[in-house]
Amino acid sequence: TQLLEQSPQFLSIQEGENLTVYCNSSSVFSSLQWYRQEPGEGPVLLVTVVTGGEVKKLKRLTFQFGDARKDSSLHITAAQPGDTGLYLCAGRRYGGATNKLIFGTGTLLAVQP
Amino acid sequence: DAGVIQSPRHEVTEMGQEVTLRCKPISGHDYLFWYRQTMMRGLELLIYFNNNVPIDDSGMPEDRFSAKMPNASFSTLKIQPSEPRDSAVYFCASSLKQGRITYEQYFGPGTRLLVL
């Protein structure tokens, strides 16, 4: 059973378009992180959200943590080819081991020039 | 400072052979994680250490897998005997405890393992 489900699994869009990736769970998380992974490399942390309802912006990327801390979204404005990669959400379960991450199923994004 | 270092980057072996993957975490980090990534199962945590002590190995598939961390700067993941279903990319990651809430994990480049 996958605790963190991401949608969509795959997304191919044109440069300049906007997109949203979702990360959903029935479990409550004390914090949630988003990572981006490029081919042949390991995931790299983009952001951490810890408070229900929290919104963080990183240039053209906007991250939101759900009010109930069970879900999160990543919105990219005016996508660029450099945004191409595998996006992974990862959470720490509320009451679980403080340094153990559960990774989502991943969203593979391809931005065509 | 160098990031997490993994070796080898690629490994091709035959079924039944022993495979040893190596990891050097970032200096000063007190947590080390081993993950496995496949298309079917995504990124799975196999085991993690804190101050060289294994804390949670519930993700280790079976007795064929073992991991050690003899000191703060080195860890190994061993598969013996290897099977084709072990083919995957294995990542090592490290992190530093900085409070009770957030811990960024720094990943190595991974070892791509193919068992024929």
Per-residue b or e along A59-97, where b marks 16 or more CB atoms closer than 10 Å to that residue's CB: eebbbbbbeebbbbbbbbeebeeebbbbbbbbbbbeeee
Question: Taking the mean position of all CA atoms in its chain, how far away is CA A4?
Answer: 10
Give me the average pLDDT of each 10-residue run along chain B (116 residues).
92 97 95 94 93 92 94 96 96 82 84 97
Minimal Cβ distance to A100: which of B4, B56, B101: B56
- Write the pLDDT tens digit of every residue in A11-36: 999 999 999 999 999 989 988 999 99
Task: Name A38's Cβ contacts closer than 8 Å, sequence gap at least 6.
Answer: A44, A84, A85, A86
Q: Is B82 on the interface with A (CB under 8 A)?
A: no
Contact of A7 with chain B, judged by CB distance below 8 Å, is answered with no
Residue B55 forms contact with A (CB below 8 Å)? yes
Contact A98 B43 (CB under 8 A): no
Question: Any CB–CB contact under 8 A between B110 and chain A?
Answer: yes
> Could you tell me which residues are beta bridge partners of residue A75?
A20, A62
Q: What is the pLDDT of residue B40?
A: 86
Q: How distant, in Å, are the alpha carbons of A101, B12, B26, B35, B73 from that of B29?
A: 16, 30, 6, 17, 9
